Every structure is written in C-alpha cells, then in structure tokens.
C-alpha cells in the first residue's frame, strides 16, 4: 500500500482490481463472442395452470465461452447494457428465437409462442420496433408468436418512451409482460394506464413459499391486482409442489420453474414439446 500520510494508507484491493480487469477482458471477449456466435438461446416452458398444458416458453441466453465455460447472463447482460453491446446481442437473441419459432412451426402441429427478454437500453433505441418487425418479417413468423418481457423498474423509470414502444409492439399483435414484478416501485396509476398484457411475479416472492406469510401476501395482492386490471399473471421460479398448489389456489394463470423444467437447448425443447399436450 502507498503511504498517503501518517497512518493513512490506500489499501490495494486485489479482488477489486481483478474484477475490473475481468470486466475489461469480458468486454473484448463479448465482441469476439458476438462475431463468432458463442451464444446459445435456451428455452424454458411456461405452463397454463387452468388446463395443465404447455403454453409457451421464455428465451434465455447462454454464453458458451471457449475457455471459461458457461457464463451466466447475470454476469454479461449488465455489462453488455453498459457498453452498448446489448443491441447486437439482443438482436441475436431475437433473431435466433424467431428462427426457432419458424422451425417449431414446421415440426409441431400447433403454433407456439416464445417470450424474449428485452432490456431497457434496447427499448429506448428509436429503431427497436422496426428492427424487430423486420426480423419477424424476414424470418416469416407471425408477430403474435412473440412476447416481450420488460422489467418493471425499467418501464416505470422510462414511462413515456416505454409506452410508445409498447403500443407499437402491441399494435402488431405482440404481447407485453412486465418482468420481475414486485421488485420495482410501480405507481398503481401508471400500472393502470399501461396496456401491459401480463404481470410476471419475481422469484423473490415465490422462493420462500410456503414458509413466508409476507411472500404469500405479496403473491395474493399481485394476482388480485393483475386480475382486477384485466391482466394475466405468471409466477416464475416454481420449484415445489407446495408452491404450485398455493399459486393454483390463488388462480394464478401461468407458472414457470424447475418444478416443470429447466431452460433447455433447442433439441431438448422440441422433445419436451412432443411429450406435452398443448391446448
């Protein structure tokens, strides 16, 4: 440590320095990964609780790093948002998903729908709606086969711009879900004015069910709020039979989680679809 004065030292934190170095390296490696398509999109089923059938899937991106192995999106999405690389990555995920939908259209006898996560940086880009419509048209799927998941806090902090993009998407038949619901601080009047189709309860409020009375109360209120506003509700992160039973009892519409299936690669998702009856 370097002496700053009597009894004052700047502490060298190797962990922090390592982290910053890793960050810079990851940014360079993200560029390479984008060029070399080291990403793969996984798909996790969402189950309709009313009919007990497969409703749709959520697309979740994975980075298959040639040396580091599988890197979690929690690690590289925030970085890609900061550096602006999220636009290229987001377009890649969206295009891959549309192409997979197209493949499923010819493989399965029922049309499918897949939800794609869109970060606020993407949503605020002026051309985002046209960019996505172009991909949908080029690949040749129907817009209503796509759903978008936008995080609650991101939408509420950018309400004016978000509303514009949301209605443009909805006018083409694309459903919009508010992700991580309950973790942001939604004003109820904003929520009522938003034309969002679906609220997605964050896993934070699912994981401690049935022990936590607080979590159960929050789930109860979100579901009743959603239903009184005419929106459907998804519960994410369902891992146990008890959690499922609790949400069913509250008339939650849709459920997703390891209890049903983990996110899967394309091949496994196709096989999963084939074992399921759809509506």
Beta carbon nearer to ligand C2E, 11 or 116: 116
**The entry of ligand C2E, Ca ion, none that residue 73 binds, CB within 5 to 8 Å by partner kind:** ligand C2E
Residues 171 to 200 in contact with ligand C2E, rule: CB under 6 A: 179-180
Angle among Cα 128, 133, 135 to the nearest 5 degrees reads: 95
Listed in order, strand segments (DSSP E) in 21-78 are 39-48, 53-65, 69-71
Residue 197 CB, nearest distance to ligand C2E (Å)?
Answer: 16
**The entry of Ca ion, ligand C2E, none that residue 29 binds, CB within 5 to 8 Å by partner kind:** none
Stretch near ligand C2E under the rule CB under 6 A, chosen from 6-14, 73-81, 129-137, 138-146: 73-81
Kindly state whether residue 81 participates in binding Ca ion, applying the rule CB under 5 A.
Answer: no
Neighbours of 248 (CB within 10 A): 14
Stretch near ligand C2E under the rule CB under 6 A, chosen from 13-21, 29-37, 101-109, 233-241: 233-241
CB 211, CB 246: distance < 8 Å:
no
Beta carbon nearer to Ca ion, 46 or 216: 46
What is the spatial distance between Cα 17 and Cα 20, in angstroms, rounded to a whole number?
A: 5
What CA dihedral angle connects 183, 153, 55 and 92, to 10 degrees? -130
Kindly state whether residue 204 participates in binding ligand C2E, applying the rule CB under 6 A.
Answer: no
Kindly state whether residue 96 participates in binding ligand C2E, applying the rule CB under 6 A.
Answer: no
DSSP 116-127: EEE-HHHHTSTT
Residues 53 to 72 in contact with ligand C2E, rule: CB under 6 A: 60-61, 72
Beta carbon nearer to Ca ion, 61 or 135: 61
Report the residue from 29, 56, 81, 202 that binds Ca ion according to the rule CB under 5 A: 202
Looking at the DSSP bridge assignments, the partners of residue 198 are: 177, 232
Beta carbon nearer to ligand C2E, 44 or 232: 44
Angle between helical axes of 73-83 and 86-107 (0-180°, round to 10)? 130
Beta carbon nearer to ligand C2E, 56 or 149: 149
Looking at the DSSP bridge assignments, the partners of residue 200 are: 234
Listed in order, strand segments (DSSP E) in 140-258 are 146-151, 175-181, 198-201, 232-235, 254-255
Report the residue from 29, 56, 147, 236 that binds ligand C2E according to the rule CB under 6 A: 236
Kindly state whether residue 119 participates in binding ligand C2E, applying the rule CB under 6 A.
Answer: yes
- Among 236, 168, 218, 222, smallest CA distance to 191 is for 222
Where along the sequence are the contacts to ligand C2E (CB under 6 A)?
Answer: 44, 60-61, 72-74, 77, 90, 93, 117-119, 149, 179-180, 203, 236-239, 257-258, 263
């Amino acid at each position: 440590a370097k002496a700053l004065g009597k009894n004052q030292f700047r502490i060298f934190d190797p962990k922090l320095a390592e982290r910053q170095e890793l960050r810079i390296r990851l940014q360079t490696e993200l560029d390479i990964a984008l060029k070399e398509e080291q990403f793969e999109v996984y798909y996790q089923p969402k189950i309709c609780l009313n009919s007990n059938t497969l409703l749709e899937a959520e697309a979740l991106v994975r980075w298959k790093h040639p040396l580091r192995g599988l890197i979690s999106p929690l690690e590289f999405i925030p970085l890609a948002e900061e550096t602006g690389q999220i636009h290229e990555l987001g377009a890649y995920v969206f295009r891959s998903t549309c192409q997979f939908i197209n493949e499923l259209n010819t493989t399965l006898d029922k049309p499918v729908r897949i939800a794609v996560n869109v970060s606020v940086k993407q949503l605020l880009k002026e051309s985002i709606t046209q960019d996505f419509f172009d991909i949908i048209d080029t690949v040749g799927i129907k817009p209503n086969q796509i759903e978008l998941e936008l995080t609650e806090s991101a939408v509420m902090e950018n309400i004016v711009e978000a509303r514009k993009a949301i209605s443009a998407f909805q006018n083409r038949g694309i459903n919009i879900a508010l992700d991580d619901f309950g973790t942001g601080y939604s004003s109820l009047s904003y929520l009522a004015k938003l034309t969002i189709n679906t609220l997605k309860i964050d896993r934070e409020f699912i994981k401690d069910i049935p022990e936590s009375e607080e979590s159960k109360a929050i789930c109860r209120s979100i579901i009743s709020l959603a239903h009184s506003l005419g929106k459907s509700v998804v519960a994410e992160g369902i891992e146990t039979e008890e959690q499922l039973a609790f949400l069913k009892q509250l008339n939650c519409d849709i459920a997703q989680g390891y209890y049903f299936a983990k996110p899967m690669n394309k091949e496994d998702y196709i096989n999963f679809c084939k074992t399921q009856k759809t509506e």
